[in-house]
Amino acid sequence: MAKQILGLSEVNGSLVVYRNVEDVSNEEMVQIALSDGSIRNGRVVQIEGDTVIVQVFEGVLGLSKTNSKTKLLGHPMEIALSKEVLGRTFSGSGRPIDGLGPVYAEKFADINGKPLNPVAREYPKNYISTGISAIDGLNTLIRGQKLPIFSGSGLPHDKLAVQIVRQAQLSGDDADNFAIVFGAMGVKNDVADFFKKSFEETGVMEKVCMFVNLSNDTIIERIVTPHCALTTAEYLAYECGMHVLVILTDMTSYCEALREFSSSKGEIPGRKGYPGYLYSDLATIYERAGIIKGGKGSVTQIPILTMPNDDITNPVPDLTGYITEGQIVLDRSMHLNGIYPPISPLSSLSRLMKDGIGEGYTRKDHQDVANQLFASYAKVVDARSLASVIGEDELSDTDKRYIEFGKLFESVFIGQGFSAKRSVNETLNLGWALLSTLPKSELDRLDGELIKANYDPEHARHTIELALKGE
């Protein structure tokens, strides 16, 4: 079955070209044995008659035209799966790197997966309580959702991801049935260590499966890392019935790896040099979140990406935003003002929120409170831009109230700190308390009944002070 090819014809970037090869299939795996005894893995990416182009995961360093023997393995890239993968650490292409030996596989699965039939999907409706007001209250995370964190270099996205993991995993009856798949693409060693240490401190390490491709590992391996992570996640969710949270960081490195690979293949670039198929490619990653009808488990994704130069219109965040179900955007100026988590209220969004909150899920008034907070905060932004022109003193009384509201909203509601955990009830009560600092006539998104029941400026001060002390 396995045929050997002696030597190779051409090396170009991370791609190797062979000529006069027969009976090779698209995306087939190959194994390259060097004369020094080392073994490298590769994958067929293009076939032109009897010419075959192969990408090499471990890089092409030291390959010559004659010093290798290449074996065709006859199957596409597969990964070994079993429940044992929890607690283990793998390289970006799924090779164990924790010294515990290979995984005893229940099954092997193609890492590309297959598209999920839309009819087979269950529409996600159960919210995940993260204990973070800016998320639970304004951008609720739903089980089975893909909600990325848009961040920039130097912003505390890793910290936020860890806080979500720590505070979310304890809720519900499914606490035992919880798993985390962590895919690191092109991150620094310290970042990978930070996550590892945090998982250990939280005591969830035996529930975590890590795929680590560091920034000095090869880009070809980086390209398969999220696919390996998600294949594992799908196995745990759909075949073992677990609720899996997938954290992928950093998607920008992934896209840059894809760009590098594409240009070495000589493809026509689209925007900012990224390949034209970047959207489709990202979709094959992000769309692998969800719930299958009648199944027990779920895959929830929190991909993290750093926006180059904090530019949200860069192709990576832009295309991500078109595929994912919302985004959590971190704001640098809030971060500089010492607010943690610096979640920008206006540009963040959770698309699945509307169906996962309200009566029977969180609380009846949830949507209304959230809408009013958004609308009021939008006016804060207007008032601030006016103040920057004419000075705060010249503002109308209402605008001054808004400036005041804005400060409280950012410092109390959003800036809750790394250790605070608030229930949805506490979050919504705090929301009402903040709204009560505004004149009643300004609450134009709420109907009269709700205002009557909850608008209470007297009590508000007390609630806000408590929240301040709680931190």
Partner 1 sequence: MENVIYSINGPVVTVKDTSDFSMMEQVYVGHKRLMGEVIGITDARTTIQVYESTTGLKPGEPVEGSGMLLSATLGPGILTNIFDGIERPLNKLLEIDGAFISEGQSLTALDSEKKWETKILKKEGDKVKGGEIFATCPETPLIEHRSMIPPQVNGEVIEAKGDGAYTAFETLLKVKDETGVVHDIALSQKWPIKTPRPIKEREMISIPLITGQRVIDTTFPIAKGGAAAVPGGFGAGKTMLQHQIAKWCDADIIVYVGCGERGNEMTQVLEEFSSLVDPKTGNLLLDRTTLIANTSNMPVAAREASIYTGITLAEYYRDMGYHVAIMADSTSRWAEALREISGRLEEMPAEEGFPAYLPSRIAQFYERAGYVKTLNDTEGSVTIIGAVSPQGGDFSEPVTQNTKRFVRSFWALDKSLAYARHYPAVNWNESYSEYMDDLSDWYYQNIAHDYSKLRSEMVAILHDETELNEIVKLIGADVLPEDQKLTLEIARVVRVGFLQQNAFHPDDTYVPMEKQYKMLKVISYLYAQSKKLVAKHIPVSLIQKTGIFEDLIKIKYDIPNNNIALLDTYFDKIDTALASIE
> Which among 304, 81, 283 has a CA at the least distance from the CA of 184?
304
| Per-residue contact flags (x/-) with partner 1 for residues 262 to 301, judged by CB under 8 A | -----xxxxx---xxx-xx--xx-xxx-x-xx-x------
Q: Which residue stretch of 86-94, 158-166, 178-186, 382-390 sits at the interface with partner 1 (rule: CB under 8 A)?
A: 382-390
CB 4 within 8 A of CB 71: yes
Q: Determine the straight-line distance between the first and last CA of the chain, rounded to whole angstroms.
A: 65
> Which among 262, 245, 253, 357 has a CA at the least distance from the CA of 298?
245
Half-sphere exposure in the Cβ direction for 441 (13 Å, CA): 2
Rounded distance between C-alpha atoms, residue 225 and residue 203, angstroms: 25
Work out whether 364 is an interface residue with partner 1 (CB under 8 A): no
Among all chains, which residue has been given the structure tokens 């491709």?
213
Q: Which of 73, 214, 240, 349 binds partner 1 (CB under 8 A)?
A: 349
Work out whether 108 is an interface residue with partner 1 (CB under 8 A): no
CA 253 to chain centre: 13
Q: Which of residues 389-408 bind partner 1 (CB under 8 A)?
A: 389-390, 394-396
Work out whether 240 is an interface residue with partner 1 (CB under 8 A): no
Q: Which of 325, 331, 410, 426 binds partner 1 (CB under 8 A)?
A: 325
CB of 74 to partner 1, least distance (A): 10
CB 175 within 8 A of CB 354: no
* Neighbouring residues of 105: CB distance < 8 A, sequence distance ≥ 6: 80, 81, 82
> Which among 231, 212, 183 has a CA at the least distance from the CA of 76?
231
203: phi > 0 → left, psi -120 to 50 → alpha, else beta; which?
left
Q: Which of residues 195-224 bind partner 1 (CB under 8 A)?
A: none
Work out whether 2 is an interface residue with partner 1 (CB under 8 A): no
CB 150 within 8 A of CB 307: yes
| Per-residue contact flags (x/-) with partner 1 for residues 73 to 102, judged by CB under 8 A | ---x--------------------------
Give 115 or 154: the residue with its C-beta nearer to partner 1: 115
Q: Which residue stretch of 166-174, 187-195, 342-350, 455-463 sits at the interface with partner 1 (rule: CB under 8 A)?
A: 342-350
CB of 390 to partner 1, least distance (A): 5
Q: Which residue stretch of 111-119, 173-181, 202-210, 221-229 sits at the interface with partner 1 (rule: CB under 8 A)?
A: 111-119
Q: Which of 110, 239, 404, 456 binds partner 1 (CB under 8 A)?
A: 110
Q: Which of residues 17-76 bind partner 1 (CB under 8 A)?
A: 22-28, 46-50, 76
Give 61 or 390: the residue with its C-beta nearer to partner 1: 390
> Which among 140, 146, 202 has a CA at the least distance from the CA of 343?
140
